[in-house]
Amino acid sequence: MRDALNLALKEELARDNSVFLMGEEVAEYQGAYKVTRGLLEEFGPKRVIDTPITELGFAGLGVGAAMVGLRPIIEFMTFNFSILATDQIINSAAKMRYMSGGQFKMPLVFRGPNGSAYQVSSQHSQALESWYAYFPGLKVVMPSTPADAKGLLKSAIRDDDPVIFLEQERMYGMKGEVPDDDDFTIPLGVADIKREGKDATIIARSLMVPTALQAAEQLEKEGVSCEVIDPRTIRPLDIKTIIESVKKTNRAVVAEESHAFASVGAEITAQINEHAFDYLDAPVKRLSGADVPMPYAKNLEQMAIPDVAAIVAAVKEVSYM
Amino acid sequence: MDRPENSAPAISEDRDTMVKILHQMILIRRFEEKCAESYSLGKIGGFCHLYIGQEAVGVGAISALRPDDYVLTSYREHGQALAKGMPADAIMAELYGKATGCSRGKGGSMHLFDAGLGFLGGHAIVGGQIPLATGVAFATKYQETDQVTLCFFGEAAVNQGAFHESMNLAQLWKLPCIYICENNMYGMGTSLQRAMSFQNVALKSCAYEVASEAVDGMDVLEMRAAVQRAIKRAREQSLPTLLEARTYRYMGHSMSDPGNYRTRAEIEKYQERDPIKVFTNKLKEAGIIKDSDIAEIEAQVKEEVEHAAKFADESPLPDPQELYTDVYASPINLND
């Protein structure tokens, strides 16, 4: 996964001189998670820039640079630190085009890991996608495979709107085939059916996709055929693909690592109820992270994120098994 | 507060420039008076922050720029927008929430923009424009132009992290940005003394090794000269400057401010050094203008402001379809 992201960054830096990469430890240190490895050497310090620890400052700097024609990629070492920069992301990046009556493009990517990591406790392990997905003006992307990561990141960099690109620290080591074509992109706003099935639909994103696929495999052995849908882009949400699947399977489970309250899963559930209520054979089942700050202890941490067993149980519940 | 004791620069420039500066200052004063009137008539809604008293800061600073230089500022920006050359018609129409407004009626008083003229807003979170301006200066350096960026903010913004983070980045990366703190001594209703532990804004630059000056913000020529020095530093050495313009606003923080936190006597004391009066007297003493010239400027300005108000009045409201336009540059339509 990290190499796929690295390749996307490298190809887009090579393709367009107005693209630059900025963040904490992205250059000389080669990236806290090594996503930016080798980029300083290849593109030099003008385009691969180490920042001080000053999230509000460099996020706002990126927005200003985007207003006058550059295409910044701003890395947050983790999205936990983006909380310091939310004024610039929400009040400046998301709204500049609208409140100026369409005078500015905002070709800007904020990227970095989101969601749970391993045993880093409450302030370093949280999923923030529902925050950013709330705001018109932003696009929000969450890849779940190395190939998707490459194709979606390239599209995000080429997009003229601000994109929140949420990676997952636990997935940086994930293996998978990645096209090495320079022009391989995946359009934003298009969901992917990660596994076809006919009995129940599991809607999962980011870390929950591999978890859902494992659950589907296990359920297949028990005679339940699951369709796994990964929206990939959270805003705008390809609800159509989800609805079509639910109309076919008549059962839906929504799995997410984030907290349940006002979450993306809550939105997906509401939209399924709005658009496919008559097709449902059971209420939509939501699986979310525990409604607590993330604990440190390994056993408690494991309990705080939905796992394969929880998804299997949820599918059985909506199947009245 | 003490006024900096720079000796006032002699008038050594051409008459046209001086008359243009005076014209802009009077235009801003009369434009803002018209805004107050239109606001009380309900033609302007929301928040409306007037620039009366501070004209010398914006006009003096912007008069030193090249047309291709950039300006970013706060929500008290009608005056700076006029000084950057934005038409009074388009500004007034924006305040009236009309389709012909500079931001097509979507921004209002606090979000005036004109990308073509390099007027990059109109930002309404205190201090929010400071990192943005730093980024614009970063971009001009990256693009290897010699444009400079002016960033205006009030003294209350100096207490925000955004100011300090930007000062650090601007000097660390040697960015051609000129930060102008308009110290009008009140953050809304809270005086400087109640808000800032160390009240010399210019000296705060020492923490970042940024060059700085305190400037008499009631003297337009002082402002112009200080900004000219800062521009030289920015264009020739790609270095930032912090200017603290000591000024005073005559009106409330916004139109809804009753002003109970200061006395009439205090306001009158500052009005004795009214920036338009100071400059007019200087020009008259130097024999550059006569009373009849001033009357002519007043007449031109009156016509300009009346025209703007009429234009705004008669302009159409935004089309209802405009509600959903301009959210994205590349909208993804998922409803097909």
Choose the mutation target among A18, A74, A98, A138 for the interface with B, i.e. most B CBs under 10 Å. A98
Q: Which among A92, A233, A240 has the least Cβ separation from residue B132? A: A92
The mean per-residue pLDDT over the stretch A291-295 comes to 98
Max Cα–Cα distance, chain A, nearest Å: 60
Query: What's the whole-number average pLDDT of chain B?
Result: 95
| C-alpha to C-alpha distance for A156 and B273, rounded to whole angstroms | 54
Q: Give B151's strand partners.
A: B72, B179
The mean per-residue pLDDT over the stretch A7-17 comes to 98
What domain count does chain B have?
1
Q: Under a CB-based contact definition with an 8 Å cutoff, are residues A255 and A208 in contact? A: yes
pLDDT at A142 over 60: yes
How high is the pLDDT of residue B12? 74
B27 belongs to a structural domain: yes
Could you tell me where the beta strands, DSSP code E, fall in B38-188?
Answer: 70-73, 119-122, 149-154, 177-183, 186-187
Q: Give A47's strand partners.
A: none
| C-alpha to C-alpha distance for B256 and A66, rounded to whole angstroms | 35
B9 belongs to a structural domain: no
The mean per-residue pLDDT over the stretch B56-78 comes to 98
How high is the pLDDT of residue B258? 86
The mean per-residue pLDDT over the stretch A127-149 comes to 98
B329 belongs to a structural domain: no
pLDDT at A52 over 60: yes
What is the assigned CATH class of domain A192-318? alpha beta
B124 belongs to a structural domain: yes
102-161 in A: which are within 8 Å (CB) of B? Answer: 102-107, 136-137, 139, 159-161
How high is the pLDDT of residue A42? 98
Q: Under a CB-based contact definition with an 8 Å cutoff, are residues B187 and B155 in contact? A: yes
By C-alpha distance, the chain B residue nearest A190 is B334
Give just the sign of the alpha carbon dihedral A5, A8, A13, A18: negative
DSSP letter string, A162-221: -EEEEEEGGGTT--------TT----TT--EEEE--SSEEEEE-TTHHHHHHHHHHHHHH
Cis bond leading into A236, ω under 30°? yes
CATH of the domain at B169: 3.40.50.970
What is the C-alpha radius of gyration for chain A, rounded to an integer number of angstroms?
A: 19
Q: Which among B104, B134, B140 has the least Cβ separation from residue A101? A: B104
How high is the pLDDT of residue A197? 98
Q: How confident is the model at residue A254 (pLDDT cuts 50, 70, 90)?
A: very high
| C-alpha to C-alpha distance for A256 and A301, rounded to whole angstroms | 15
Chain B contact set for A60 (CB, 8 A): 128, 130-132, 134-135, 162, 166
B334 belongs to a structural domain: no
Are A57 and B131 in contact (CB < 8 Å)? yes
pLDDT at B5 over 60: no
| C-alpha to C-alpha distance for B314 and B98, rounded to whole angstroms | 9
**Residues A118-136 pLDDT 10s:** 999 999 999 999 999 999 9
Task: Please tell me the pTM assigned to this model.
Answer: 0.96
DSSP letter string, A97-156: HHHTTS------EEEEEEB--SS--GGG-B--HHHHHTSTT-EEE---SHHHHHHHHHHH
Are A65 and B130 in contact (CB < 8 Å)? no
| C-alpha to C-alpha distance for B163 and A141, rounded to whole angstroms | 31
Q: Which among B106, B125, B135 has the least Cβ separation from residue A63? A: B135
Q: Under a CB-based contact definition with an 8 Å cutoff, are residues B104 and B318 in contact? A: yes
Are B106 and A58 in contact (CB < 8 Å)? no
Distance from CA of B72 to the nearest CA of A (A): 10
Choose the mutation target among B100, B132, B144 for the interface with A, i.e. most A CBs under 10 Å. B132
| C-alpha to C-alpha distance for A231 and A255, rounded to whole angstroms | 12
B322 belongs to a structural domain: no
pLDDT at B299 over 80: yes
Are B325 and A100 in contact (CB < 8 Å)? no
Question: Is A2-171 a CATH 3.40.50.970 domain?
Answer: yes
Q: Under a CB-based contact definition with an 8 Å cutoff, are residues A44 and A70 in contact? A: no
Q: Which among A64, A87, A103 has the least Cβ separation from residue B115? A: A103
B316 belongs to a structural domain: no
How high is the pLDDT of residue B308? 98
How high is the pLDDT of residue B6? 53
- For residue A40, give every residue at least 6 positions away whose Cβ sits within 8 Å of its Cβ, in sequence order, or none: A26, A27, A28, A30, A48
| C-alpha to C-alpha distance for A39 and A11, rounded to whole angstroms | 10
Percent with pLDDT over 70 in chain B: 96
| C-alpha to C-alpha distance for B133 and A34, rounded to whole angstroms | 31
Are A103 and B114 in contact (CB < 8 Å)? yes
By C-alpha distance, the chain B residue nearest A156 is B330
Choose the mutation target among B120, B144, B160, B165 for the interface with A, i.e. most A CBs under 10 Å. B165
Are A87 and B168 in contact (CB < 8 Å)? no
Distance from CA of A99 to the nearest CA of B (A): 4
Query: How many Cβ atoms from other residues are within 10 Å of residue B2's Cβ?
Result: 7
B278 belongs to a structural domain: yes
Q: Which residues of B41-80 are buried (b: 16+ CB within 10 A; e: fewer)?
A: eebbeebbbbbbbbbbbbbbbbbbbeeebbbbbbbbbbbb
Q: Hey, what are B318's tokens?
A: 């935004």
Are B120 and A67 in contact (CB < 8 Å)? yes
| C-alpha to C-alpha distance for B157 and B128, rounded to whole angstroms | 8
Determine contact: A65 vs chain B, CB below 8 A.
yes
How high is the pLDDT of residue B333? 79
Query: Complex ipTM, two decimals?
Result: 0.96
**Residues B27-38 pLDDT 10s:** 999 999 999 999
How high is the pLDDT of residue B211? 98
Could you tell me where the beta strands, DSSP code E, fall in chain B?
Answer: 70-73, 119-122, 149-154, 177-183, 186-187, 190-191, 211-216, 241-246
Residue for token digits 């409604």? A291
- Angle value at C-alpha A117, between A230 and A162, nearest 5 degrees: 55
How high is the pLDDT of residue B11? 76
Percent with pLDDT over 90 in chain B: 92
> Which residues constitute the domain of residue B241?
15-307
| C-alpha to C-alpha distance for B261 and B277, rounded to whole angstroms | 26
How high is the pLDDT of residue B3? 54
Q: Hey, what are A95's tokens?
A: 């709204």
**Residues B135-177 pLDDT 10s:** 999 999 999 999 999 999 999 999 999 999 999 999 999 999 9
Report the DSSP pairing between strands A233-235 and A139-141. Answer: antiparallel
Give me the active site residues of A, please. Answer: 55, 124
Q: Hey, what are A82's tokens?
A: 């983006």
Higher pLDDT, A290 or B2: A290
How high is the pLDDT of residue A190? 98
How high is the pLDDT of residue B336? 52
By C-alpha distance, the chain A residue nearest B164 is A57
Determine contact: A60 vs chain B, CB below 8 A.
yes
Are A57 and B162 in contact (CB < 8 Å)? yes
CA-nearest of A5, A150, A24 to A81 is: A24
pLDDT at B229 over 70: yes
Determine contact: A66 vs chain B, CB below 8 A.
yes
**Residues A170-206 pLDDT 10s:** 999 999 999 999 999 999 999 999 999 999 999 999 9
- Please report, for chain A, the start and end positions of each structural domain, with discontinuous segments joined by +: 2-171, 192-318
How high is the pLDDT of residue B65? 98
The mean per-residue pLDDT over the stretch A40-55 comes to 98
